[in-house]
Structure 1
Amino acid sequence: MAKGKKIFGVKTPNNRSFTKNSAGGRTSGKLTWDSNFAGRINRALGQAQEFVDSECIRRMGPETPRRTGVLVKSATLGTVIGSGEINQTTPYARRQYYEHKTKSYWFERMKNRDKDSILKGAGKYVKSH
């Protein structure tokens, strides 16, 4: 069953100071993290997950067996966009997915064909933050 949106748990690391003594003298430094880093990256990862979910549903459509279109629509209705999980909620979805003569495993076929472009699109969300 559909669950809520995926929560990403990236945390901002602690600031670090270091000192290194050597024969040539002493070296010291400080590594300071942006305090907004975790919030920005978690938001970006959430947006990227929403993009991946919606693109997978959109690109699965032509591959999904279609008589009335209910199976295609059930992917949108049964999925919480951003959860990282696509659910097709019709009672016959599982059987169609595994046993359909010409269009079985439609998610796997879509993934094999389109994974590079979907990952590239998701990467744009993460890089922009």
Structure 2
Amino acid sequence: MANPKLKIDTPQGSLYTQASKSGKVTAILEWNKGFGAEFTEKFSSAQKFVDSEVLRLDAPYMPIDTGMLIRSGELGTVVGSGEVNYVAPYAGAQDATAQSRSYDPRRGGKWFERMKADHKAAILRGAAKIAGGKK
């Protein structure tokens, strides 16, 4: 027979069951008071790290003429929002062109996908370290 007073304690809070006089069992979740604020700050810092790393690591993979395409990412992105936006009007067309550029074979379209293939593990490790997790 199951224990009617099951309790699980974690740093985030506790989960326990409580039985009423009628025998009905209810599960109750109680968050630790400081958990929300503490982890919100950690997750926010980790998101800022990821956004900044994407902007920094995308740059060597992007086509470059005047540098405006790279700068448009800095202007179009709110670091920490979880969304990196390249706002130059020609950004989509440049990204859709899959071929590399003659002046630098690493530069060309699909820069985020190619950068992610090379650096995803390092970005995840850094974000996990900041957020207090494991990766």
TM-score range (shorter-chain normalised) is 0.7 to 0.9
Match for residue 104 of structure 1?
109
Match for residue 87 of structure 1?
85
Relative to the length of structure 2, the TM-score reads: 0.71
Paired residue secondary structure (1:91): coil
Q: Matches of 2:88 and 2:15 in 1, distance apart?
A: 53
Q: Matches of 1:19 and 1:90 in 2, distance apart?
A: 58
**Structure 1 residues 70 and 35, CA gap change in structure 2 (3 angstroms):** same
Higher strand share: 2
Q: Matches of 2:127 and 2:12 in 1, distance apart?
A: 24
Which one-letter code corresponds to 1:76 in the other structure?
A: E
How many angstroms does 1:51 deviate by? 0.3
Query: RMSD across aligned C-alpha pairs, in angstroms?
Result: 2.5
Q: Which has the higher contact order (CA 8 A, sep 6+)?
A: 1
How many angstroms does 1:18 deviate by? 4.9
Extract unaligned runs of 5+ from structure 1: 1-11, 21-30
Q: Matches of 1:122 and 1:107 in 2, distance apart?
A: 18
CA deviation map 1:10-38 (0-9, x unaligned): xx977555579xxxxxxxxxx97531011
Match for residue 50 of structure 1?
48
Q: Percent identity?
A: 39
How many angstroms does 1:111 deviate by? 0.6
Extract unaligned runs of 5+ from structure 2: 1-10, 20-28, 101-107
After TM superposition, what 4+ stretches of structure 1 lie above 6 angstroms from structure 2?
none
Identify which of 107, 114, 120 aligns with 1:115: 120
Structure number with greater Rg is 2
